[in-house]
Structure 1
Amino acid sequence: MSALSDEVRQIEAQIPPSRFARGWHCLGLVRDFPEGEPHQVNAFGRKLVVFATQDGQIHVLDGYCRHMGGDLTQGTIKGDSIACPFHDWRWGGNGKCTGIPYARRVPPLARTQAWQTLVQDGMLFVWNDPEGNPPPAEAAIPRIEGYDDPDWTDWVWYTTTIEGTNCRELIDNIVDMAHFFYVHGSFPIYFKNIFEGHVASQFMNGVGRDDVARPRSANAAKSSEYTSAASYYGPSFMINEIRYLFEDSSEVSTVLINCHYPIDANSFVLQYGIMAKKPMELDDNEAQAMAMKMGNFVRLGFEQDVDIWRSKTRIDNPLLCEEDGPVYQLRRWYEQFYVDVADVTEEMVERFEFEIDTTKPNEAWRREVEENLTKHAASVGRSD
């Protein structure tokens, strides 16, 4: 046996970057930040305060007062400013001090960090850029066509905190075809990735496994097929359009949001939400209940991923086979958000396409499902 064949592959893993990705990050639904009170968000390695002013505008500032370090998340909304609970210094949404009740004048340099915000489709976004540049037009988040449309349900939304791991683990999923069978219980029969500019996309057609639970329609028919088109717009916000075809020939179109923001280098907040196009035969309440049922199924899938992330190790040099997809190319695309704009290279943003041949995987997986069904039938027969 040659020395080369005896060589043991070692796992390489650098410390996760302390720098946070440049881009729009969704902090959650606007409805979760009610007016009249400050809200605390831990993101980008610091504490932020979110508050709405009398004109309905939502603002995000650094969470600590620049006077003597008071906690603005414990402060009070006064007019169009947030007042520090320590000495009542007032801070406007643009970061400028708007007043000090006991002082003759406001120091001209009295300013704190303000974060550019975007309210769109019921969600609150903040722009993060370590260089302090405003968002370019090409980084815009697309509008959700079905949002605020009476033919679609409202958001069903979930939030969970992931500790002890970096958010790159979540990004890797966009190229990971095989885990959809082993973790999420479906056959990916078509799988393709396209990366270009700040967008990374995944196109997939799938069939549900007969040996695991699957989402159901309003009349309880199991889904048999689905088509999915998912795109990350920047480093942390994915829009996923999914159409389910059920065994009774009914269809349901959904939009799934998959987004996150970093707390620090080794933890992040994962958020995901779903809305569905209302079937004609359902009233509004029934349609929202259907969306909730489908959301709970999606939630199971995300929880399966979370269990994997919490126990796996970080690996910068994964050992891959042909069917594993373009992991290294995806990470090269992702790197553009962690370097200065001047250091973004052409290979990070140039168009890249890769389609996986799913023939061999599906042959193996169908045999596995048949074996599982046979074993299950035998065990049921013995119990009878």
Structure 2
Amino acid sequence: MVMEHIENNGYREIDSVAPRDRYARGWHCLGLSAPYKDGKPHSVRAFGTKLVVFAGEDGELSVLDAYCRHMGGDLSQGEVKGNSIACPFHDWRWGGNGRCTEIPYARRVPPIAKTRSWNILDQDGMLFVYNDPEGNSPPAEIAPPRIPGVASDDWTDWKGFRQIVVQTNCRELIDNNVDMAHFFYVHGSFPTHFRNVFEGHVAAQYMNGLAREDIRPVAAGGAPQLIGNTSKAAYYGPAFMIDELTYHYDQFDMESVLINCHYPIDLDSFVLIYGVLVKHSPLLDRRASEHMAESMGRYITKGFEQDIEIWKNKTRIENPLLCDGDGPVYQLRRWYEQFCVDVADISADMVERFEFELDMTTPVETWREVVSEGLALRSAEASR
């Protein structure tokens, strides 16, 4: 625990209790599914252990515990044989359902020869794995929603799909769902509307924003100038966010879908995964539309890198000191808690509907002054 207080002077104690020794129950995206379908085993460190991901000759993906139940060989270093993964140590074969299918040097397979098989979902070009400390199967109603733009001629393919290891607990990422003010100071966006709605397994953020004129580059040669954006970003479960994001330019709008998701490596690190689909604009030809999508992918990458720099240097705070311009941090963490307890222990206040809309009057007035001062300074520097 990190503490920083002087009781006689009334300083507030910073409480950074270690994260709960448990991984969230729910669907977690392991990235695009196509790279896992190359007929080779793939090693993934997740949920404090190692997994092996492979596709059999039938093309079906499977996820198993990576360590062979026989003598501990690493299945991810083995070989795909038929629809099974063969251990490199003694060639025991394991099927996608976790059962041992063959031991070449034995007359029979022990009836108890079984390893853990993980529930998976291959959907919209992404591979999901379901984690549940209690070992229950995933309820149908919490499956990640489909993304209509995938495989549509009206939309691009996935752009900027990246995976980055972040050395902190994944709850630090979840807190961003209610953190309105950091968009101005960290990302150079100017929020003008901000609202949260939590209900059931969904936590949504609605935001309208303007691009900060004092720091945005001036478009040259008639290129489109970014004006702002409209966003509906929702976590569906503890680890998979879909952001329906429209960028407003001076000449047109660009509709996009941003995927922001993660899976924990252990309690102190996670893999951040993100990518974007962009709807082709009728005002642009396909080449120009693809170029805009790639630019948006780079822009989004820059935003996540800004967050990562903050996460690398901050401390975990269980009792943040909040003001009236902050979002519902404690309510969001209460919502997130439903995924970290047994199903029988989920309480009504974790899942019942909660709505909160920030009064943006003060921040908008304050930030307009900041932007005006920045523009005046930039104008003065340009005239020298």
Deviations 1:314-349, CA, capped at 9 Å, x for gaps: 000000001101000000000000000000000000
Partners of 2:37 and 2:59 within 8 A in 1? no
Correspondence for 1:270: 272
Correspondence for 1:162: 166
Q: What 5-or-longer segments of structure 2 have no aligned partner?
A: 1-5
Deviations 1:142-181, CA, capped at 9 Å, x for gaps: 0001111100000011110001x11111000010000010
Distance 1:162 1:124 in 2: 20
Partners of 2:96 and 2:117 within 8 A in 1? yes
Indicate the larger mover: 52-61 or 206-215. Answer: 206-215
Partners of 1:154 and 1:288 within 8 A in 2? no
State the SS of the aligned residue for 1:294: helix
Correspondence for 1:9: 12
Correspondence for 2:363: 361
- When residues 340 and 85 of structure 1 are mapped into structure 2, their CA distance, relative to the original with a 3 A threshold, is same
Instruction: Select which of 221, 234, 239 maps to 2:242.
Output: 239
Distance 1:100 1:141 in 2: 37
Partners of 1:26 and 1:259 within 8 A in 2? yes
Partners of 1:216 and 1:246 within 8 A in 2? no
State the SS of the aligned residue for 1:319: coil
Distance 1:344 1:49 in 2: 31
Correspondence for 1:114: 117
- When residues 84 and 60 of structure 1 are mapped into structure 2, their CA distance, relative to the original with a 3 A threshold, is same
Distance 2:148 2:196 in 1: 23
Sequence identity (%): 60
Distance 1:231 1:237 in 2: 8
CA shift at 1:186, angstroms? 1.3
Deviations 1:117-162, CA, capped at 9 Å, x for gaps: 1011000000000000001122111000111110000001111000
Partners of 1:176 and 1:325 within 8 A in 2? yes
Matches within 5 A, 1:113-192: 113-156=116-159, 157-163=161-167, 165-192=168-195
Correspondence for 1:50: 53
Correspondence for 1:87: 90
Deviations 1:40-78, CA, capped at 9 Å, x for gaps: 111000110000011111000001111111111110000
Deviations 1:18-37, CA, capped at 9 Å, x for gaps: 21000000000012213210
CA shift at 1:372, angstroms? 1.4
Instruction: Select which of 271, 296, 319 maps to 2:298.
Output: 296
Distance 2:61 2:218 in 1: 37
Report the aligned-residue RMSD: 1.8
Partners of 1:258 and 1:272 within 8 A in 2? yes
Deviations 1:253-290, CA, capped at 9 Å, x for gaps: 00000000000000000001101001124444432222
Deviations 1:209-258, CA, capped at 9 Å, x for gaps: 1022379899621111211001000000000001111112x010000000
- For 1:41, give the aligned amino acid: V
Partners of 2:254 and 2:279 within 8 A in 1? yes
Correspondence for 1:308: 310
State the SS of the aligned residue for 2:339: helix
Q: What 5-or-longer segments of structure 1 have no aligned partner?
A: none
Distance 1:239 1:122 in 2: 14
Distance 1:213 1:84 in 2: 54
